[in-house]
Structure 1
């Protein structure tokens, strides 16, 4: 790569890495000065230092500038990291050198991913292109692309979905007296041939490289509880969550997803599947699946049928078996990952729109009712954020079905208190999902922006009036909804399962019946 292209990659990486960090700072540590942006720029005052921060508005804020000595000083990503650290120290009285290092590492990862994509070949399948499109990542996280514990980029790019990763899985044989099986794991036995007295266990190669030298793993390989059988003759495809892969072992065989432990911190957690999470999934998934089966509509749930792991290494080499897309998508439809719609990808249905309102209405009609029905009638709050939501579109690119996944984040009442379940549902549905999709549509079609949230309110009102969903009425009445404070949560080292939230204005709420749509 020549110097010019390297500079272009660095500049592009800075733009992509600045946006989520700036989003965090604006949401969690600043307040607007004045009511309307001037010439496409808005000014916010940082709450602790009182400094003025100016930025270019849009679906993603950009080009931040700090008021210094009577002039506006442009901020690169490293400048913004320093400013964020200053504000968070003042707000919390704590430092966090590890998180500031992650912010820098996240930006470096983006640059590495851009370089890899420039020389890679995207998959032909538009659904897989959408799964592998999330170069910027979570739009409200300070370090969305950091891979802490995973080594330098050259050690993990081969496994990165953003770099179009495809790779064989490691196959282990587990001695039968050391196998821990729960649920339906028959799909694992079809992935290869285990020696007599053993069961087959696929392992993510990145996890095997990270954990293979642990004393407990070496002991299991030495005493015969584990046997290294080689690699699969076929390749798995990395999906957006990094540790979950898509598998199709032959053209006439059904597909499936496999979710693994990964000793790497991605966003808020080390992505290790804990023992209690394995047990919780087996209790929760049948309840979520039953809720979706009971619905009168096309919405689908990708079941997590069972898991297999190794006694004594339960959290090191577990594998969850999740339904594939076969058998769930309506005939003639194509799935796309909802999280890829704001980022954009080749083949996005948004690229074909001339009027966003019919598309948006169809999206709302297929996403909102099943989420509210699962909550209201079955006591299940599905984690319907953008990365867990797939949208099936017809030949015209119009949404005709929603498919949801990932039992780990689902909350079941009364196991989870109703208030906590509601908090998670409102955040995932309104703040993470609908706000992001509405934002990209407003950016692409500014003349239609004022009609987007009134359409969303009408859909929620319909759920309240025609279906009697109390959850819909609660959404409409709430003046604020909870937004996840990822910057604060990470800065104070809050447990990933206990994040901090802050209230933000509810875009579905009208303050009075006379208020005009906005």
Structure 2
């Protein structure tokens, strides 16, 4: 039985926009075709590369890719480049019908759990069009501006996730008020908690006598929390939306019980409980590494015993940029124009892989994607050191630490593993499949960068796997279509050194 027609999210956005910001109505309409292509390209990458159970076979003929579905239908589109960040898929053909809207395509596929995913795709398209409608191409951060200014220039969100801009539960007015790409300032509330769990040194300016003041995002106040909050302080939202840069101060990560891309962005009690230990351990590891890597220290973490009411305060990455230097999130590097220079891309690739592989050999796998990883550029634009933030999803191997005489920190739970596959997935999937792939922007550019630096990298067993095996990356669409399966699911992309195309 065919599904009922979904509500038209694009039209709903247009209707609300005509009321709250009518000046953006025309730019929004003009941005919709490009936003559809951008999300459809990400979706096609997933269909071409992920182990989706309703795809029986993939056939290439030199001109395109045909997916043979288990029900006998055929879906055809262009040959995929799994590392491309260009929107090169404007339409695909299912049977005899052409589709240019990713949400309508998923509805037509009729796959399990497709209804919820289709709604998210529609929201991603409309939100992306809204973000693009409000951008100012001629406005760019100056050479000495703070890293948050770079983050607020990132318009398109996750480079490979079809839900790159999905913000279900956010109205148009709320997106304009809270989205970093709209160059806004957001005023947080403060919830006074009597018996909060606190680790680290909670700032004095976030205390009221014996009570702990936990910063709360205004969306959380409006949609989730029942507790009253008092007026707090303003901050600049970063690309994660729920983390804000306090003027001339630290970064504050808030709980946000909304699904953005794949995950609900709350803060677990486990993360708060381990925050200080993990931060101290990683500071020691960075010092032991004797490499150009800095860790933004977690200053304090607090929770009221619920993932819906918690916060983390950490150093600003700008602390590690000297005079004349700038600290840029890796996700923003394409905005600088530097990755277009092959020599620069090779230099950057050498830096990040050397640091990542040496740390992995010691026993720590970073989740070094374009949001967590920042690079400090000198006056000439050369990458001179790395800054890593948000330690909640690293992995630590006690066996590898012991092998190098490093004391094992008192940690437990998901952060601890000696599984070689899990460790390599964490680093390679985020750093090569995410940060480097998106910075290079294509299989060809990524291959050339890797070929140019392979001989200079630390000779470890991990390097041999990186250079010689298919690349593990998260199966982002499979995860969204598998709500009954907790945790990460994975796929393998063709190794960039073995040529373009999907396996």
- For the pair 1:66 / 2:93, whether they are aligned, the reply is yes
Separation of aligned partners in 1, 2:301 and 2:189: 17
**Is 1:470 the counterpart of 2:497 in the alignment?**
no
Pairing 1:47–2:80 present: no
Q: Residue 119 and residue 392 in structure 1: after superposition, are their counterparts in 2 closer, same or farther (change >3 A)?
A: closer
Distance 1:471 1:3 in 2: 51
Provide closer, same or farther for how the CA distance between residues 9 and 295 of structure 1 changes in structure 2, counting only shifts above 3 A.
Answer: same
387 and 119 in structure 1: CA distance in 2 versus 1, 3 angstrom threshold: closer
Q: Is the Cα contact below 8 Å between 1:122 and 1:164 reproduced in 2?
A: no
TM-score, length basis structure 1: 0.78
Report the TM-score, using the length of structure 2 for normalisation: 0.80
SS of residue paired to 2:74: coil
Classify the secondary structure of the residue corresponding to 2:90: strand
Determine if contact 1:157/1:163 at 8 Å carries over to the other structure.
Answer: yes
* Secondary structure in structure 2 of the residue aligned to 1:319: strand
In the alignment, is residue 113 of structure 1 matched against residue 131 of structure 2? yes
Provide the aligned C-alpha RMSD in A.
2.9
CA contact (8 A) 1:304 1:322 kept: yes
Shift of 1:159: 1.0
> What is the number of residues matched between the two proteins?
446
Give me the whole-angstrom Cα distance separating, in 2, the residues matched to 1:481 and 1:55. 19
Pairing partner for 2:222 from 186, 191, 209: 209
- 1:350 is matched with which residue: 338, 342, 352? 338
CA distance 1:460–1:409, change in 2 (3 Å): farther
2:179 counterpart of 1:160: yes
Cα deviation for residue 64 of structure 1 reads: 2.2
Matched, 1:245 2:239: no
1:369-518 pair list within 5 angstroms: 369-377=354-362, 379-414=363-398, 415-418=416-419, 419-439=421-441, 449=444, 453-465=447-459, 469-478=460-469, 480-493=470-483, 495=485, 498-508=487-497
Aligned twin of 1:270: 264
Secondary structure of the 1:461 match is helix
Report the CA distance shift for 1:508/1:53 in structure 2 as closer, same or farther (over 3 A): closer
Q: Shift in Å at residue 56 of structure 1? A: 9.1
Gaps of 5+ in 1: 36-41, 222-227, 443-448, 511-518
- Which residue number in structure 1 is paired with residue 291 of structure 2? 297
Q: Is the 8 A contact 1:9 1:111 kept in 2?
A: yes
Change (3 A) 1:331 1:59: same
CA displacement at 1:11 relative to structure 2:
2.7
Distance, in Å, in 1 between the alignment partners of 2:369 and 2:311 is: 23
SS of the residue corresponding to residue 163 of structure 2 reads coil
Distance 2:485 2:75 in 1: 31
Alpha-carbon distance in 2 for matches of 1:334, 1:122: 13
After superposition, give the CA deviation of every residue in 1:90-133 in whole Å (9 maximum; x if it has no partner): xxxx2331111111111111222233436998766363343123
Aligned-partner Cα distance in 2 for 1:18–1:316:
33
In the aligned structure 1, how far is the partner of 2:353 from the partner of 2:219?
Answer: 37
Output aligned runs, 1:57-206, within 5 Å: 59-60=85-86, 61-66=88-93, 69=96, 74-77=98-101, 80-87=102-109, 89=111, 94-117=112-135, 125=145, 127-148=147-168, 150-175=169-194, 178-185=195-202, 188-190=203-205, 194-206=207-219
CA distance in 1, matches of 2:31, 2:494: 36
Contact 1:54/1:66 (8 A) holds in 2: no
Q: Give distance in 1, aligned partners of 2:210 and 2:342.
A: 59
DSSP 3-state at the match of 1:270: strand
Give a deviation string over 1:157-212, Cα, whole Å, max 9, x none: 2111121121222133333xx23211122xx3235xx5444333322222222233
Counterpart CA distance in 1 for 2:436 and 2:315 is 25
The alignment partner of 2:193 has SS state of strand
Flag the structure with more relative contact order, 1 or 2, with Cα contacts below 8 A and sequence separation at least 6: 2
